[in-house]
Structure formats: C-alpha cells, structure tokens
Amino acid sequence: MKIANFREYTNILRELYAGDTMAELGQYYNALISSGKQLTQNKQHLQSELAKLNQQIEAQAAIARTSLDKKRAGIELNKLKKMKQDKVQALKALQSSDHFNTLSNDTKACVCSGFLFQKYLTDEIIQNNPLHFATDTKGDLIVIPEKLRQSELFNQALHIKDFVFAYITNNPDKVKTPGHFKTMLNNAKDWQSLLEFANLYFAKLNAKIKLSPNQAETSLIDTEVIFTPPQSNFLLVKLLSPQALDYESQEMHHCVGSGSYDKSVTEGKTAIYSLRTTAPNGRQIPHATIEITKGKIA
C-alpha cells in the first residue's frame, strides 16, 4: 500500500514552512542537481590521481630500500606521501560539499524534518490510517488535503518541525548532514516514538530555562495586551521576545521557548498569543497558546 496522491500529500506538508524557507530549499535542490554531474567528474579525477600516486609511492618506496642515497630517496618518498594526503583531503572536502551546511537553520530544519516525515509520518498514515482515508481501486490511500490540514496529525507534524529546528539552533555544530536525525533517532520505531522523543527533548530544554524568581514580574515582560473581554478575568496578550516565549513555554510545557520560535517571532513571520488570567499577586497565568502564521491559526 502507498499514498496514491503522494505529491499532493507532500505539498500539504510544505505548508508547515515559511515561503522564504521553501524558496531557499528550491535553490538548494537546484544546486544539488546542477552540481551533481560536475561533482562526479571531479571525484573521478581525484580518485584517478590518487591511484597514480599510490603506484608512484610504491615504486619510490622500492627505490628507497635499495638506493645508495637513502636520504634523497626518502625526501622524494615523503613528497609523494604529502601529495597523496592533500589529494585525500580534497576528496573528503568534495564528498561533503553538498551545500547543506550553507543553508539557514530554517531550511536545514525543513530538509531534516522532511526526511523524518518521509520515514515516520508517511508510515503512520499508511500502516495505521488514523484519519480513515479511503482507498482507490489499487488499494492505495487517497489523502484528503483539508482533512489532513485540520487534524491532530498535522499539529504533530508541526511539533516535529519545531523540535528539529530547536535541536539545530541549540546544537549548530552537530547537524552536518541531511540524514543526521534519521541516524540519531534510529531507535525510534514509529511516529509515536518520534513524538515521545521530541516531547522529552522540549521538557529538558524547558527545565534549563532560568527565569526571574519574581514570577509576577517575569510574566509581564515583553507582552502586549491585545484584548480584554468585558466582564471576564481573561486577557489576550501578544508575546514579543524570546524571554516572553520562554515564560510561556515553561508554564505550558510546550515548544515555543528555548529558541524554537525566537527568530520567526522577532522577524515578524509568526505571532504568538497567550490567553491568560491574572492572579491576585499580579502574575499572568497562561491557559492557551495561539500561533498565527501566514495569517492563519496554526
């Protein structure tokens, strides 16, 4: 069994990402395609030169063993070995030149989470069909776009994307390849295991957040009251800074803090709102968090 309208399904998942991220992703894949042929030729050329150098080193080593001027022969042998070392390093650099490390963290997260969706989310839909999609005459699932968009499964996919971005942001020197998370999460057997790993990661991040002991003061930092319903204790506030996001994340035990949304909020790409009440000591207590991206509630 497979997803009959797979392209339409992947297009829905693309909606999880900002427009500029998708533009950079397109440039990334175009660069991979355009450089692929030349990359192969360059690799083959280096490998050919290495093979010749190995033959020269073997021949020079034989000369060094029988030469009367062993010092001169040894110097020539070391030159050849140094040339080989340089070629090996050049080949390694060429093999890792897949453009991935030039991407922004947003686009790296897009590439990496795409790998996870392909492995785990697609398998969840095909194996368990949690949204009860119908099948075509071949027995393949037909994904209904609007049903997927409005589902908890879509929210879970957003959560995984946030997890990948937060991990990359907090560990910039670790994620060097598109397949990093597939390797790191090799023991996660299914979609639910992946979600549990992400939840545990955010719990650890939230535990590290250090806020002012004055919670009343902390709850008010970098917030803007947007709406106060009449005859109600509730108020809707907009969160304006990383510190405001950290407070919300720690109180609500979710993923808006610890760097996950700092960039998108400060750049105005995403707006985060909090529905709160005010305690007698003046502390604002969050009850619900709302994300607005591309003019839509996520």
Structure tokens at 86: 């340089």
Longest dimension (CA), the chain: 103
Q: What is the mean pLDDT of residues 112-130?
A: 95
pLDDT tens readout for residues 231-266: 788 988 999 988 899 888 888 888 888 777 888 888
Q: What is the mean pLDDT of residues 29-51?
A: 79
Position with higher pLDDT, 195 vs 91: 195
Residue 52: pLDDT band with limits 50, 70, 90: very high
> Which amino acid belongs to residue 136?
D
> Which amino acid belongs to residue 9?
Y
pLDDT at 212: 63
Q: Is the pLDDT at 279 greater than 60, yes or no? A: yes
Return phi, psi of residue 228, to 5°.
Answer: -125, 105
pLDDT tens readout for residues 170-186: 888 889 888 899 889 98
Position with higher pLDDT, 78 vs 99: 78
Q: How remote is the C-alpha of 129 from its chain's centroid? A: 25
Radius of gyration of the chain (CA): 27
Inter-CA distances, 148 with 12, 145, 188, 194, Å? 8, 5, 23, 19
Residue 298: pLDDT band with limits 50, 70, 90: low
CB atoms within 10 A of CB 192: 13
- Residue linked to tokens 């994307």: 161
Contact 278, 232 (CB under 8 A): no
Q: What is the mean pLDDT of residues 95-118?
A: 84
Contact 267, 255 (CB under 8 A): no
DSSP 233: S
Q: Is the pLDDT at 85 greater than 70, yes or no? A: yes
Q: What is the mean pLDDT of residues 153-179?
A: 89
pLDDT at 13: 94
Distance between CA atoms of residues 265 and 275, nearest Å: 17
Beta strands in the chain (DSSP E): 223-227, 234-239, 270-278, 284-293, 296-297
